[in-house]
Structure 1
Amino acid sequence: MTKIRDLHEAWLEKPDYREAYDALEDEFSLIRAVVEARLQAGLTQAELAERMQTSQSAVARLESGRVKPSASTLEKLAKATGTRLKISFEPVLDTIPSP
């Protein structure tokens, strides 16, 4: 049986796939950070939902990337996982406007 990881690696060789995948990098990073915060806190989705005063399905949607969280939601998640929310803007080297 072929593993998704193997397919993904092969597909990354295709320029169209690579471009689409790279365009989603920021969303993937956010999803990964949300899941990692929950796991490092040792919480299930249901436990995190309870601490955030929301539903488990809302946490699942957040972790799946189906919804873009507000800053308020991310603050609740940080508090519920014992972490600190840090948002930053980083320059994109090839798109910095000239003064």
Structure 2
Amino acid sequence: MVNKTLLVSEAAKKWLRDPEIAEAYDALEEEFALAEALIRARADAAMTQEDVAKAMGTTQAVVARLESGRSMPSTRTLQRFAEATGTKLRIRFERPKAKTSAP
């Protein structure tokens, strides 16, 4: 049996050609961006979810939910996450981007 490797970026290019998938992806852009920012902040701080949870005074499950992108946390929660990871919370408004291209 031959194992074939498919890069996520290549799969995304293919999937995003489908207008329905591209529309759904665009609708979730903010959730994906927040999840990515949280994960990046934690990784840059060389911390585990458990480390961040302890610093925030919460549980690893709460941090996992924050990083999943399935919920919209309060600014207070985001501030606590920022403090736990040694980062600074910044919120900004941007003009909408053009329609989706591959990530």
For Structure 1 versus Structure 2, the TM-score category normalised by the shorter chain is 0.7 to 0.9
Partner of 1:75: 79
Partner of 2:42: 38
- The secondary structure found in structure 2 opposite 1:78 is helix
RMSD: 1.8
Identity %: 48
Highest RCO, 1 vs 2 (Cα 8 Å, sep ≥ 6): 2
Q: What do the CA deviations read for 1:22-68 (whole angstroms, capped 9, x no partner)?
A: 12111111100000000001100000000000000000011111221
Cα distance in 2 for partners of 1:9, 1:93 equals 18
Runs of 4+ aligned residues of structure 1 deviating over 4 Å after TM superposition are none
Cα distance in 1 for partners of 2:52, 2:46 equals 9
5+ residue gaps, structure 2:
99-103
Partner of 1:54: 58
Match of 1:8 among 6, 12, 34: 12
Q: With structure 2 as the length reference, what TM-score do the two structures score?
A: 0.82
Cα distance in 2 for partners of 1:2, 1:21 equals 23
Partner of 1:97: none
93 and 3 in structure 1: CA distance in 2 versus 1, 3 angstrom threshold: closer
Q: With structure 1 as the length reference, what TM-score do the two structures score?
A: 0.85
The letter of the residue matching 2:53 is: A
Q: Matched residue pairs, number?
A: 94
